[in-house]
A and B are shown apart, each in its own frame.
Chain A
Amino acid sequence: FVYFNGKPRWLHTTPMTLTYAFSPDNMIDYMSISEIRSVFKRAFSRWASVIPVNFTETENYLSANIRIGFYRGDHGDGEPFDGVLGVLAHAFSPENGRLHLDAAETWTVDFNSVKSKVAVDLESVATHEIGHVLGLAHTSVKEAVMYPSLSPRTKKVDLKIDDVEGVQALYGSNPNFKFSSLLESENSSNHA
Protein backbone atom coordinates (compact mmCIF):
# COMPACT_ATOMS: atom_id res chain seq x y z
CA PHE A 1 0.00 0.00 0.00
CA VAL A 2 1.05 3.55 -0.63
CA TYR A 3 0.24 6.90 0.93
CA PHE A 4 0.19 10.41 -0.49
CA ASN A 5 2.97 12.87 0.17
CA GLY A 6 2.92 13.81 3.85
CA LYS A 7 0.63 10.88 4.71
CA PRO A 8 -2.50 13.06 5.04
CA ARG A 9 -5.50 11.67 6.91
CA TRP A 10 -8.73 12.96 8.38
CA LEU A 11 -8.01 14.37 11.82
CA HIS A 12 -11.44 14.24 13.42
CA THR A 13 -11.70 12.90 16.95
CA THR A 14 -12.18 9.19 17.59
CA PRO A 15 -14.67 7.63 17.09
CA MET A 16 -14.69 9.53 13.83
CA THR A 17 -17.78 10.32 11.79
CA LEU A 18 -17.42 11.65 8.28
CA THR A 19 -20.44 12.92 6.40
CA TYR A 20 -20.98 12.50 2.65
CA ALA A 21 -23.43 14.01 0.21
CA PHE A 22 -24.31 13.83 -3.49
CA SER A 23 -24.18 16.89 -5.68
CA PRO A 24 -27.72 18.15 -6.24
CA ASP A 25 -26.76 19.30 -9.76
CA ASN A 26 -24.26 16.73 -11.02
CA MET A 27 -25.75 13.27 -11.13
CA ILE A 28 -26.64 10.75 -13.86
CA ASP A 29 -30.24 10.20 -14.89
CA TYR A 30 -30.25 6.55 -15.98
CA MET A 31 -29.67 5.23 -12.45
CA SER A 32 -32.04 6.18 -9.67
CA ILE A 33 -30.68 8.22 -6.80
CA SER A 34 -31.75 5.49 -4.40
CA GLU A 35 -29.69 2.97 -6.38
CA ILE A 36 -26.65 5.26 -6.32
CA ARG A 37 -27.13 5.90 -2.61
CA SER A 38 -27.23 2.15 -1.95
CA VAL A 39 -24.04 1.62 -3.95
CA PHE A 40 -22.15 4.25 -1.97
CA LYS A 41 -23.60 3.08 1.33
CA ARG A 42 -22.19 -0.39 0.64
CA ALA A 43 -18.85 1.05 -0.51
CA PHE A 44 -18.49 3.22 2.60
CA SER A 45 -19.52 0.35 4.87
CA ARG A 46 -16.68 -1.80 3.53
CA TRP A 47 -14.13 0.74 4.71
CA ALA A 48 -16.06 1.39 7.94
CA SER A 49 -15.93 -2.32 8.77
CA VAL A 50 -12.13 -2.24 9.05
CA ILE A 51 -11.44 1.18 10.65
CA PRO A 52 -13.10 3.10 13.52
CA VAL A 53 -14.77 5.57 11.16
CA ASN A 54 -18.50 6.01 10.55
CA PHE A 55 -19.83 7.42 7.31
CA THR A 56 -23.19 9.17 7.37
CA GLU A 57 -25.09 10.60 4.42
CA THR A 58 -26.24 14.19 4.76
CA GLU A 59 -28.48 16.35 2.60
CA ASN A 60 -26.25 19.36 3.09
CA TYR A 61 -23.85 19.04 0.17
CA LEU A 62 -21.79 22.13 0.85
CA SER A 63 -20.99 21.24 4.44
CA ALA A 64 -20.41 17.52 3.87
CA ASN A 65 -16.91 16.17 4.44
CA ILE A 66 -17.11 14.05 1.27
CA ARG A 67 -18.83 15.52 -1.78
CA ILE A 68 -19.75 13.15 -4.62
CA GLY A 69 -20.75 14.09 -8.16
CA PHE A 70 -20.77 12.98 -11.80
CA TYR A 71 -19.04 15.39 -14.19
CA ARG A 72 -18.22 15.64 -17.90
CA GLY A 73 -15.01 16.89 -19.49
CA ASP A 74 -13.47 19.97 -17.93
CA HIS A 75 -15.34 20.47 -14.70
CA GLY A 76 -13.14 23.07 -13.09
CA ASP A 77 -10.76 21.13 -10.87
CA GLY A 78 -7.89 20.98 -13.36
CA GLU A 79 -8.46 17.27 -14.05
CA PRO A 80 -10.84 17.09 -17.03
CA PHE A 81 -12.57 13.82 -17.81
CA ASP A 82 -12.02 12.24 -21.22
CA GLY A 83 -15.27 10.58 -22.29
CA VAL A 84 -15.99 6.87 -22.51
CA LEU A 85 -13.45 4.74 -20.58
CA GLY A 86 -9.92 6.11 -20.22
CA VAL A 87 -10.12 7.90 -16.89
CA LEU A 88 -13.15 6.68 -14.94
CA ALA A 89 -13.04 8.85 -11.83
CA HIS A 90 -10.78 10.69 -9.44
CA ALA A 91 -10.77 11.82 -5.85
CA PHE A 92 -8.66 14.07 -3.69
CA SER A 93 -6.51 13.24 -0.69
CA PRO A 94 -7.56 14.16 2.90
CA GLU A 95 -9.08 16.44 3.96
CA ASN A 96 -10.32 17.73 0.61
CA GLY A 97 -13.24 15.34 0.27
CA ARG A 98 -14.08 15.71 -3.43
CA LEU A 99 -14.99 12.46 -5.23
CA HIS A 100 -15.75 12.86 -8.94
CA LEU A 101 -17.00 10.26 -11.44
CA ASP A 102 -16.93 10.63 -15.22
CA ALA A 103 -20.55 11.07 -16.29
CA ALA A 104 -19.65 9.80 -19.77
CA GLU A 105 -19.16 6.24 -18.51
CA THR A 106 -21.86 3.59 -18.68
CA TRP A 107 -22.17 3.14 -14.94
CA THR A 108 -23.98 0.09 -13.67
CA VAL A 109 -24.50 -2.11 -10.66
CA ASP A 110 -25.81 -5.07 -12.62
CA PHE A 111 -23.99 -6.49 -15.63
CA ASN A 112 -26.90 -8.85 -16.29
CA SER A 113 -29.20 -6.00 -17.17
CA VAL A 114 -26.63 -3.74 -18.84
CA LYS A 115 -25.00 -5.50 -21.79
CA SER A 116 -22.72 -2.71 -22.97
CA LYS A 117 -19.09 -3.73 -23.52
CA VAL A 118 -18.01 -0.52 -21.85
CA ALA A 119 -20.17 -0.81 -18.73
CA VAL A 120 -18.26 0.03 -15.56
CA ASP A 121 -19.14 -1.19 -12.08
CA LEU A 122 -20.02 1.86 -9.99
CA GLU A 123 -19.49 0.11 -6.68
CA SER A 124 -15.93 -0.95 -7.55
CA VAL A 125 -14.94 2.56 -8.58
CA ALA A 126 -16.70 4.12 -5.58
CA THR A 127 -14.83 1.79 -3.22
CA HIS A 128 -11.51 2.67 -4.89
CA GLU A 129 -12.12 6.42 -4.78
CA ILE A 130 -13.18 6.32 -1.12
CA GLY A 131 -9.76 4.79 -0.48
CA HIS A 132 -8.19 7.95 -1.94
CA VAL A 133 -10.51 10.16 0.12
CA LEU A 134 -9.24 8.32 3.21
CA GLY A 135 -5.58 8.76 2.27
CA LEU A 136 -4.53 5.71 0.28
CA ALA A 137 -2.71 6.16 -3.03
CA HIS A 138 -2.33 3.53 -5.77
CA THR A 139 -0.89 0.16 -4.93
CA SER A 140 1.02 -2.27 -7.14
CA VAL A 141 -0.98 -5.21 -5.76
CA LYS A 142 -3.20 -6.20 -8.68
CA GLU A 143 -5.90 -7.85 -6.58
CA ALA A 144 -6.26 -4.86 -4.24
CA VAL A 145 -9.06 -2.32 -4.52
CA MET A 146 -6.45 0.47 -4.66
CA TYR A 147 -4.85 -0.87 -7.89
CA PRO A 148 -5.25 1.97 -10.40
CA SER A 149 -6.91 0.20 -13.34
CA LEU A 150 -10.23 -1.61 -13.69
CA SER A 151 -11.43 -3.35 -16.85
CA PRO A 152 -14.98 -2.76 -18.04
CA ARG A 153 -17.54 -5.33 -16.87
CA THR A 154 -15.35 -6.20 -13.90
CA LYS A 155 -16.32 -6.08 -10.25
CA LYS A 156 -13.69 -5.56 -7.54
CA VAL A 157 -15.30 -4.44 -4.32
CA ASP A 158 -13.81 -6.58 -1.57
CA LEU A 159 -10.97 -5.02 0.38
CA LYS A 160 -7.79 -7.07 0.31
CA ILE A 161 -5.10 -7.36 3.00
CA ASP A 162 -3.06 -4.65 1.27
CA ASP A 163 -6.02 -2.21 1.39
CA VAL A 164 -6.88 -3.06 5.00
CA GLU A 165 -3.33 -2.81 6.33
CA GLY A 166 -2.88 0.52 4.55
CA VAL A 167 -6.02 2.17 5.88
CA GLN A 168 -5.60 0.71 9.38
CA ALA A 169 -2.11 2.21 9.58
CA LEU A 170 -3.82 5.59 9.13
CA TYR A 171 -6.86 5.18 11.37
CA GLY A 172 -6.37 2.08 13.50
CA SER A 173 -8.53 -1.00 13.43
CA ASN A 174 -12.25 -1.28 13.90
CA PRO A 175 -12.61 -3.18 17.21
CA ASN A 176 -15.03 -5.58 15.53
CA PHE A 177 -12.71 -6.39 12.66
CA LYS A 178 -10.90 -9.72 12.60
CA PHE A 179 -8.01 -10.27 10.21
CA SER A 180 -8.69 -13.99 10.26
CA SER A 181 -11.99 -13.47 8.42
CA LEU A 182 -10.20 -11.51 5.71
CA LEU A 183 -7.50 -14.17 5.39
CA GLU A 184 -10.17 -16.86 5.12
CA SER A 185 -12.02 -14.97 2.39
CA GLU A 186 -8.79 -14.29 0.46
CA ASN A 187 -7.76 -17.92 0.73
CA SER A 188 -11.14 -19.15 -0.46
CA SER A 189 -11.14 -16.72 -3.41
CA ASN A 190 -7.57 -17.77 -4.31
CA HIS A 191 -8.63 -21.42 -4.31
CA ALA A 192 -11.67 -20.59 -6.41
Chain B
Amino acid sequence: RILPDKSTVITVDAHNATWHEFKRLLDAGKGSHVSGMSELKTYFHRFGYLPISDTNFTDSFDTQLESAVVLYQKNLGLSVTGKLDSDTISTIMSPRCGMSDNAHALHTTRR
Protein backbone atom coordinates (compact mmCIF):
# COMPACT_ATOMS: atom_id res chain seq x y z
CA ARG B 1 0.00 0.00 0.00
CA ILE B 2 1.38 3.37 -0.92
CA LEU B 3 1.21 5.75 2.00
CA PRO B 4 0.72 9.43 1.28
CA ASP B 5 3.65 11.71 1.76
CA LYS B 6 3.80 13.21 5.27
CA SER B 7 3.35 16.70 3.89
CA THR B 8 0.06 15.76 2.23
CA VAL B 9 -1.37 14.21 5.37
CA ILE B 10 -1.15 17.36 7.46
CA THR B 11 -4.27 19.43 6.91
CA VAL B 12 -3.85 21.80 9.83
CA ASP B 13 -4.13 25.43 8.79
CA ALA B 14 -1.00 27.52 9.01
CA HIS B 15 -2.35 28.73 12.31
CA ASN B 16 -2.89 26.81 15.50
CA ALA B 17 -6.06 24.71 15.41
CA THR B 18 -7.12 26.07 18.80
CA TRP B 19 -6.60 29.68 17.89
CA HIS B 20 -8.08 29.12 14.43
CA GLU B 21 -11.52 29.51 16.03
CA PHE B 22 -10.77 33.17 16.70
CA LYS B 23 -11.55 33.77 13.01
CA ARG B 24 -15.23 33.93 13.92
CA LEU B 25 -14.56 36.99 16.08
CA LEU B 26 -13.50 39.07 13.07
CA ASP B 27 -14.79 42.68 13.19
CA ALA B 28 -16.22 42.29 16.68
CA GLY B 29 -16.06 45.44 18.77
CA LYS B 30 -17.20 46.76 22.12
CA GLY B 31 -20.76 45.75 23.02
CA SER B 32 -20.86 42.69 20.79
CA HIS B 33 -21.54 39.22 22.16
CA VAL B 34 -20.02 36.36 20.19
CA SER B 35 -19.66 32.73 21.18
CA GLY B 36 -15.96 32.04 21.73
CA MET B 37 -15.10 35.51 23.02
CA SER B 38 -14.32 33.98 26.41
CA GLU B 39 -11.53 31.92 24.81
CA LEU B 40 -10.06 35.10 23.41
CA LYS B 41 -10.14 36.56 26.92
CA THR B 42 -8.31 33.47 28.16
CA TYR B 43 -5.71 34.06 25.43
CA PHE B 44 -5.28 37.69 26.43
CA HIS B 45 -5.09 36.70 30.09
CA ARG B 46 -2.39 34.15 29.33
CA PHE B 47 -0.22 36.63 27.46
CA GLY B 48 -0.55 39.43 29.98
CA TYR B 49 -3.28 41.63 28.56
CA LEU B 50 -6.14 40.83 30.93
CA PRO B 51 -4.73 40.87 34.46
CA ILE B 52 -7.96 39.71 36.05
CA SER B 53 -7.93 37.28 38.94
CA ASP B 54 -11.38 35.92 38.04
CA THR B 55 -10.88 33.85 34.90
CA ASN B 56 -14.55 32.91 34.54
CA PHE B 57 -14.79 34.92 31.33
CA THR B 58 -18.00 35.80 29.46
CA ASP B 59 -18.55 36.07 25.71
CA SER B 60 -19.16 39.83 25.89
CA PHE B 61 -16.82 42.32 24.28
CA ASP B 62 -16.60 44.54 27.35
CA THR B 63 -14.47 47.53 28.35
CA GLN B 64 -11.68 45.37 29.79
CA LEU B 65 -11.42 43.40 26.56
CA GLU B 66 -11.36 46.61 24.53
CA SER B 67 -8.44 47.86 26.66
CA ALA B 68 -6.69 44.52 26.17
CA VAL B 69 -7.14 44.72 22.41
CA VAL B 70 -5.77 48.28 22.32
CA LEU B 71 -2.74 47.28 24.42
CA TYR B 72 -2.18 44.19 22.26
CA GLN B 73 -2.34 46.27 19.08
CA LYS B 74 0.18 48.76 20.53
CA ASN B 75 2.54 46.02 21.71
CA LEU B 76 2.42 44.11 18.45
CA GLY B 77 2.89 47.18 16.26
CA LEU B 78 -0.61 46.99 14.76
CA SER B 79 -3.00 49.82 13.91
CA VAL B 80 -4.76 50.74 17.13
CA THR B 81 -8.48 50.36 16.44
CA GLY B 82 -9.71 48.66 19.61
CA LYS B 83 -11.55 46.22 17.35
CA LEU B 84 -10.82 42.72 16.18
CA ASP B 85 -9.90 43.74 12.64
CA SER B 86 -8.34 41.30 10.22
CA ASP B 87 -4.72 42.27 11.03
CA THR B 88 -5.35 41.83 14.74
CA ILE B 89 -7.14 38.48 14.36
CA SER B 90 -4.46 37.23 12.00
CA THR B 91 -1.70 38.18 14.46
CA ILE B 92 -3.56 36.59 17.37
CA MET B 93 -3.86 33.35 15.39
CA SER B 94 -0.17 33.27 14.49
CA PRO B 95 2.10 30.82 16.31
CA ARG B 96 4.12 32.63 18.93
CA CYS B 97 6.52 32.50 21.84
CA GLY B 98 4.93 31.43 25.12
CA MET B 99 6.46 34.27 27.13
CA SER B 100 3.94 36.82 28.30
CA ASP B 101 4.06 40.15 26.50
CA ASN B 102 3.51 41.96 29.75
CA ALA B 103 6.39 40.74 31.90
CA HIS B 104 8.15 43.98 31.18
CA ALA B 105 8.74 47.18 33.02
CA LEU B 106 11.05 49.04 30.74
CA HIS B 107 9.94 50.01 27.26
CA THR B 108 12.82 51.71 25.55
CA THR B 109 12.91 53.45 22.20
CA ARG B 110 15.77 53.98 19.85
CA ARG B 111 17.66 57.24 20.20
Using a CB–CB cutoff of 8 Å, the interface residues on chain A facing chain B are 1-7, 79, 81-91, 93, 106, 114-118, 120, 125, 128-129, 132, 137-138, 140-142, 147-153, 161-162, 165-166, 169
Contacts and interface: CB of A to CB of B under 8 A. Distances in A.
A180 B7 CA distance: 42
A161 B15 CA distance: 28
Contact of B75 (A83, A129, A138): A138
B40 to A, nearest CB: 14
A147 B7 CA distance: 28
Given A85-B16, A138-B75, A149-B91, A4 B96 contact: no
Interface in B28-59: none
A5 B100 CA distance: 12
Interface of B: 5-7, 10, 12-19, 74-77, 91, 94-99, 101, 103-108, 110
Given A5-B105, A7-B105, A165-B110, A150 B10 contact: no
A166 B97 contact: no
Contacts of B94: 149-151
Contacts of A4: 103-105
Contact of B106 (A3, A79, A128): A3
A137 B16 contact: no
A149 B96 contact: yes
A142 B96 contact: no
Contact of A87 (B7, B76, B98, B103): B98
- Interface centre among B6, B7, B104, by most A CB within 10 Å? B104
Given A5-B105, A166-B108, A132 B12 contact: no
A148 B97 contact: yes
A169 B108 contact: yes
A3 B14 contact: no
Contacts of B107: 2
Given A85-B12, A140-B77, A162-B110, A6 B105 contact: yes
Given A5-B104, A140-B77, A165-B110, A87 B97 contact: yes
A7 B5 contact: no
